[in-house]
Amino acid sequence: MLRPPRRLLRPPRRAAAASTAAATGPGRRLLLSTPIFYANGPPHIGHLYSALLADALHRHRGLRGAGPGRLSTGTDEHGLKIQQAAAAAGMSPPELCQRVSGLFRQALTQAAISFTDFTRTSEPRHQRAVVHFWGALRDGGSLYKGSYEGWYCTPEECFLPESQLAEHRDAQGRPCKVSLESGHQVHWTKEENYMFRLSAFRDPLQKWLRDNPRAISPDPFYHCVLRWLEEDLPDLSVSRERSRLPWGIPVPCDSTQTIYVWVDALVNYLSVVGYPETHGEWWPAAHHVVGKDILKFHAVYWPALLMAAGLAPPERIFVHSHWTVHGQKMSKSLGNVIDPFTCIGQYTLDGFRYFLLRQGVPERDCDYYDEKVVKLVNSELADALGGLLNRSTALSINPSNTYPCFSESCFPKALDYRGTKGMGRASAEDYEFVASVASLPLQVASYFEGFQIYKALECIALCVRQTNGFFQRHRPWKLDRKDPAEQLWLDTIIHITLECLRVYGTLLQPVIPHTADKLLSRLAVEPEERGLSSLTFLPRYHGKPCPFEGRQLGPDTGILFHRLEKSRQHQIETKKL
């Protein structure tokens, strides 16, 4: 690649100052985003997982009353892959994008993703933002025209260095080179393009990450990006010859070039908040949820491009790993791509949401198979949570169908539950259990903040098991209601159990919204009583009034969550694309 002599770049304008007001202070605004999904094929569970993570964070923040929030998603509709996929399907690129974008919108809606904005990069408002952003890069001296040659991977839409390639053989047995990351074949390409002076941003990027150690989570990915910045950081080709790629946004004032699809796509995070006019109300208070395969684009290229355009990098980038199927990477050639519509139909919406968020660990790839989904969902939603609600609200146990009273004499307050041998009718184990549930909301909030939703759900599941143990230990169905003392203890057991269920239902709203709503409605918890900022547990234990005590329970809507059946083949139906 030919490079011109270096010249001093103008320092990034307003890179961290002018719009910082949007990112701080109480009641601040926040943009949460999924990647915009490439419109060359229908959605699979990898797309859904990204969206579910962002949706859970967005819902949790809304329940906390943390301030105005938006959740953006959409489709990336330009580039060579779209052009080729459309030709293969006998369609024009706009026709293909219209169809596939509709499939993504349908899938996200069916999965109860609470998005507020759906961006299509073929929209005029987005294209206007991209053209303005290009102008900011040009005016800042960050672009130059040069001849570029190298190994180009069409599916990944990028040039790859030799260090990221491997020797392979194609379908005809001929030697070829492939991407180490994806396995896709690469081709030697030479053309004249506009180049972005990425190499000039190594120091600013390193300083940004050193000053903001929480900018990229989880921690292994943060250190991965730091390692990348210690390696060679060549300038980035940011346009393609229009004769080869007509499907894209033309470079302003140069009709021979098309803007690189990744520059086009990344600007969606700005166009959605009104760039270039009103973005300052939101930017840089943005949290991106991305897969590890596009980490470099979001954690190296995007912050550098923003700095060059005089804008601050996004506040945080949350990174997750991939889903495999029976230990194999999902691929069209293997025919094991998991169709989210099929999964939702088989496991229910909340069942599948719960499985992905409970089992998905951002730091490592997670394996998917039918038996695992059925076992987890049946155990934790149908049996543990649903069974607990059914047992504690059954007319044989609670014939008045009310939220019964708590008795301080049966369960006296302990100054320190540790070492307590038990008081009243409560055992030492009961005090430990109550303390665990009392600490749960803060634990869950901390895990959501740290992008460890699976750990939050693990803690909730543990407390649900403890509550079942508490209920089973005291066997309320054996107590004699005719004995006033026994009735007090029976009411206290049920009161504590319903209080636990209320906490679990409230905390599970971001993950299984429909099931949580059903549970809270059964407990007669009104919509305005379901927020996280005012969530309390067992106020009567602390000598404070409980607004639910004596309240009539809501209508019995039957089983909270029906048990799932294993598929006959013991594996989910796959959809060959």
pLDDT tens-digit map of 426-444: 999 999 999 999 999 999 9
| pLDDT, tens only, 452-463 | 999 999 999 999
The residue to which tokens 């690469």 are assigned: 186
Superfamily, domain 30-320? HUPs (3.40.50.620)
Check: CB of residue 136 under 8 Å from CB of residue 305: no
How confident is residue 417, by pLDDT bands cut at 50, 70 and 90?
Answer: low
The residue to which tokens 């605004």 are assigned: 29
| pLDDT, tens only, 94-139 | 999 999 999 999 999 999 999 999 999 999 999 999 999 999 999 9
How confident is residue 159, by pLDDT bands cut at 50, 70 and 90?
Answer: confident
| pLDDT, tens only, 117-127 | 999 999 999 99
Tell me what the mean pLDDT of segment 299-321 comes to. Answer: 98
**pLDDT at position 240 over 70:** yes
Tell me what pLDDT residue 170 has.
85
Tell me what the mean pLDDT of segment 11-39 comes to. Answer: 66
Tell me what the mean pLDDT of segment 141-145 comes to. Answer: 97
Candidates 359, 296, 372, 350; CA nearest to 323 is 359
Measured CA angle at 132 (ends 130, 137), to 5 deg: 95
**pLDDT at position 174 over 90:** no
Tell me what pLDDT residue 416 has.
67
How confident is residue 204, by pLDDT bands cut at 50, 70 and 90?
Answer: very high
Most confident among 14-23, 302-311, 560-569 (mean pLDDT): 302-311
Candidates 296, 373, 356; CA nearest to 322 is 356
Tell me what pLDDT residue 164 has.
83
Tell me what the mean pLDDT of segment 204-223 comes to. Answer: 97
Check: CB of residue 207 under 8 Å from CB of residue 302: no
Tell me what pLDDT residue 418 has.
60
Domain ranges of the chain: 30-320, 371-552
User: β-pairing, 286-291 with 422-423?
Assistant: unpaired
**pLDDT at position 488 over 90:** yes
**Is the pLDDT higher at 180 or at 415?**
180
Check: CB of residue 393 under 8 Å from CB of residue 474: no
Long-range Cβ contacts of 532-535 (<8 Å, 24+ apart)? 532/60, 532/63, 532/64, 532/65, 532/441, 532/445, 532/506, 532/507, 533/63, 533/64, 533/65, 535/441, 535/503, 535/506, 535/507
Tell me what pLDDT residue 434 has.
95
Tell me what pLDDT residue 14 has.
40
Q: How far is 439 from 264, CA to CA, in rounded Å?
A: 45
Tell me what the mean pLDDT of segment 383-405 comes to. Answer: 96
**pLDDT at position 66 over 80:** yes
Q: Calculate the average pLDDT of the chain.
A: 91
Tell me what pLDDT residue 172 has.
82
Q: How far is 408 from 425, CA to CA, in rounded Å?
A: 10
Tell me what pLDDT residue 271 has.
98
Strands, DSSP E only, in 313-402?
316-320, 323-325, 328-329, 366-368
Tell me what pLDDT residue 572 has.
43
How many residues are recorded in the chain?
577
Strands, DSSP E only, in 122-208?
143-153, 158-160, 165-169, 175-179, 187-196
Long-range Cβ contacts of 454-460 (<8 Å, 24+ apart)? 454/357, 454/358, 454/359, 454/360, 454/361, 454/362, 456/507, 457/354, 457/357, 457/358, 457/511, 458/358, 460/504, 460/507, 460/508
How confident is residue 330, by pLDDT bands cut at 50, 70 and 90?
Answer: confident
Tell me what pLDDT residue 419 has.
58
Residues of the chain with pLDDT > 70, as a percent, come to 92
Core vs surface per residue 115-124: b (16+ CB within 10 A) or e = beebbbbbee
Q: Which CATH architecture has domain 371-552?
A: Orthogonal Bundle (1.10)
DSSP state of 430: H
Tell me what pLDDT residue 567 has.
65
Tell me what pLDDT residue 158 has.
76
